[in-house]
Amino acid sequence: MADQEEKQERHGSRERVFRRPGRCAFCKEKWSPDYKNAALLRRFTTDRGRIVGRGRTGVCSRHQRALSRAIKRARELALLPFDAHI
């Protein structure tokens, strides 16, 4: 028991809590993600080019599916990069 407490003190708490924004941004504005809007799609990708999940963005499941489809289409048309420029 004491070993676990010492380990937590040394390494800190490993639990990370991500607070999801309250409501889906697409539902609130009443529009869907579009592959032609590359500036908007970049907000939902990491600096390495990965698609950010719903837990971090606060997007509902329906719009998350549409968002990932739009990002993939934009990548195929070279509007977004497949990976980060190294």
Mean pLDDT for the chain? 84
Query: Can you tell me whether residue 45 is helix, strand or coil?
Result: strand
Q: How much is the pLDDT for 27?
A: 92
- For the chain, the domains span 20-86
Distance CA 44, CA 40 (A): 7
Q: What was the pLDDT predicted at 71?
A: 96
**Residue tagged 């676990």 (tokens):** 4
Q: Is the pLDDT of residue 82 over 70?
A: yes
pTM of model > 0.75 = no
User: Taking residues 5-19, what's their average pLDDT?
Assistant: 61
pLDDT score of 83: 85
State mean pLDDT over 38-47: 92
Instruction: Give residue 11's pLDDT.
Output: 61
The architecture of the domain spanning 20-86 is: Irregular (4.10)
pLDDT at 3: 65
Token code pair at residue 80: 């977004």
